[in-house]
Structure 1
């Protein structure tokens, strides 16, 4: 990628926030008709008779505790380029980072039985998760390390191509899986869902047709759900929950300096499921085999890889070619 092209992107990032024309709907107060699903938990109206349920107030606290990753600028150059900003093209990487680090915080909190988001232990878990995606080569899941993965380079010949969510998930799951300190396995499932012998985060790319929108809602209602990376047109977002057919999401399309990580109160938006793009990548945290089997049933996938069968010509009988597998 030429130096002038890189410089153009870097300069453009300074004006991105002022010229962005997106008109997103901010998250509205929950209705009292339906329960709310957020990252594996179910939340009920405060008027619900069962006081043991998580409430809408708990849901709002959870939403404001989420880690946000956005476009960045003023970081060290990416790979063998002069790019110091991902504004305008890196949204799928940022949305994937959000999905992974929020899943990581939930996992650590559950292992430590943390329920207080103000506790030192929870804040420490968040801080450690954020460190994984800081914009520097020393951070495992940084854009610097994702950018140089072979699967990214293959789909990014110009250096600033729009990257499909599935490609970003393959790159980031590979990095996480190779980490010697990984707290769980992370596997991208293209045609099967392997058995679960230890805690595993399964990333499942899927093309969703209009008639399959119920699959999205069913997936978000599962206790294994850790949201999904989807899109509005070609703008990638991180969807973390829903109420009825309304999806809740975090949007990475805002430029911040590399040193300023996240918002005090993350901007949260909503969108009707009918407006979501067809290409999504679901995330599910499974601890036991029966949870994997539930996913296989929902997604119509098996436990072992599907191997394409190859036709080979072995002989002729009465002038007719006989094919074996």
Structure 2
């Protein structure tokens, strides 16, 4: 970040106030120091938010760390069977956004099958947990493996070894989720910076809009809210909203909205990163975001029942002992905010929170929300196809394979 350039720009911009200037200076100092603070969680009175759960850094430090350790952490791996005919036996240097996508989806599956309050420990041998973990193992047969993600991307024009942006990995996961009958998860990728409520309802209800009656509550009156027949259902929803929050840096006007997303109970985090470095953000404290970093290369390993000592060690390798944090203005502006709604009531509550906390209070909200798609908008499927097939040449034209864990994907 060139702080002098930002300062010059800000003086000519009416949209930046003193608070934004202070934030940019804080971010500049953080970057110029050359490293993050060693503590994963700062000693502060400000609340710590982890995937919609509020903690006190002064009183709940061990609970915060236990919560973070319970997230599935997917890093680079080496030694797996080659992906297709590429000869690639490691995703080191190119797979960081794919791993972030895995972490996002795994978190949704943990919420779905085990609940928000489930806690991992090295002694855990829960069959449901192990089943979820095996779905992401580094082998072709695993439904959400690095092999499946990379090859699905290749079938849509992204060659194996090319760098994915947040939107692209979300589109690939959407395609793969169709084959996961156990979870029966609906993944909706909201394009054009707009969440269209009835598109989500149709996806999750098989095409019939309105509230489900299985939760015992009467439907609220509103556009598209008709009562469905008894016995109808709502497919659990993973909602991903790709956003571009600036050109080369995040515009400070979006900071409060982005932090607010971590406070919603439906939050499953944000995929994005810092320039050249994809990350999975799970929370925030003050003006810092808390993240899991996939840029560690580990040997592959497989787990059956977690009876053997090597299986226990392998399981531990999927849980990060300490998260990291970054000033929010040092994030790459290309992100995807994500939410999980187990029921239609969860989705209704999320829509209400978005309107009240993200749209109405902000002069420039993160994204729009509406009941129906406007006729002038590009059809959703066409736009999704373009997102999968297009290669951002302006970002990737000079890239070479990385040979260390230090340089990584330039987010598009």
Q: 2:90 aligns with which of 85, 90, 98?
A: 85
Q: For 1:240 and 1:63, locate their aligned partners in 2 and report how far apart those are by CA, in whole Å.
A: 8
Q: 2-side partners of 1:303 and 1:226: how far apart?
A: 23
What is the distance in 2 between the residues matched to 1:152 and 1:290?
36
Deviation at 1:190, TM superposition (A): 1.4
Shift of 1:182: 1.8
* Residue 293 of structure 1: aligned partner: 351
Q: 1:264 to 1:280 in 2, by over 3 A?
A: closer
CA distance in 2, matches of 1:185, 1:228: 18
Structure 2: any 5+ residue segments left out of the alignment? 1-33, 206-233, 302-313, 359-366, 379-412
Is residue 128 of structure 1 aligned with residue 131 of structure 2?
A: yes
- On the 8 A contact 1:226/1:285 being kept in 2, the answer is yes
Q: Counterpart of 2:272 in 1: which secondary structure?
A: strand
Change (3 A) 1:264 1:273: closer
Residue of structure 1 equivalent to 2:338: 283
SS in 2 for 1:148: helix
**Offset of residue 302 of structure 1:** 2.1
3-state DSSP class of the match of 1:130? helix
Contact map agreement 1:109 1:122 (CA 8 A) in 2: no
More strand by share: 1
Instruction: Tell me by how many angstroms 1:29 deviates.
Output: 3.5
Structure 2 counterpart of 1:202:
239
User: Does 2:304 match 1:303?
Assistant: no
Listed as ranges, the gaps of 5+ residues in structure 1 are 1-21, 48-54, 311-325
Alignment length (residue pairs)? 278
Matches within 5 A, 1:52-201: 55-110=60-115, 115=118, 117-118=120-121, 123-149=126-152, 151-154=153-156, 156-157=158-159, 159-191=160-192, 192-193=195-196, 194-195=200-201, 197=205, 198=234, 199-201=236-238
Q: Which moved more, 1:138-147 or 1:281-290?
A: 281-290
Q: Aligned equivalents of 1:100 and 1:26: distance in 2?
A: 29
Give 4+ residue runs of structure 1 displaced > 6 Å after superposition. Answer: 119-122
> Hey, what's the Cα distance between the residues in 1 that align with 2:321 and 2:48?
19
Instruction: Return the alpha-carbon distance in structure 2 between the equivalents of residues 62 and 272 of structure 1.
Output: 21
Post-superposition shift, 1:168?
A: 0.7
Residue aligned with 2:68, SS: helix
TM-score (normalizing by structure 2):
0.61
The CA distance in 2 between the partners of 1:134 and 1:125, in whole Å, is: 15
Structure 1 position 31, deviation (Å): 2.6
Q: Residue 245 of structure 1 contacts residue 273 of structure 1 at CA under 8 Å; is this kept in 2? A: yes
- 1:313 maps to none
Instruction: Please give the TM-score of this superposition, normalised by the length of structure 1.
Output: 0.77
Once the two structures are overlaid, the 10-residue window that deviates more, 58-67 or 238-247, is 58-67
* Residues 73 and 84, structure 1, Cα contact 8 Å, conserved in 2: yes
SS in structure 1 at match of 2:339:
strand
Distance in 2, Cα, partners of 1:152 & 1:229: 21
Q: Alpha carbon RMSD of aligned pairs, Å?
A: 2.7
Displacement of 1:139 in angstroms is 0.5
Aligned residue for 1:58, secondary structure, equals helix
Cα pair distance change 1:164/1:36, threshold 3 Å: same
Cα distance, 1:85–1:272 mapped onto 2, change above 3 Å: same
Tell whether 2:283 aligns with 1:271. Answer: no
Question: Residue 205 of structure 1: CA displacement?
Answer: 0.6
Residue 248 (structure 1) aligns with? 290
3-state DSSP of counterpart to 1:242 = strand
Q: For structure 1, which segment, 80-89 or 260-269, has the greater mean C-alpha deviation from structure 2 after superposition?
A: 260-269
Q: CA deviation at 1:106?
A: 2.3
Deviation at 1:274, TM superposition (A): 0.8
Matches for 1:3-82 after TM superposition, within 5 Å: 25-45=37-57, 55-82=60-87
Q: Is the 8 A contact 1:36 1:56 kept in 2?
A: no
2 CA distance for matches of 1:116 and 1:266?
14
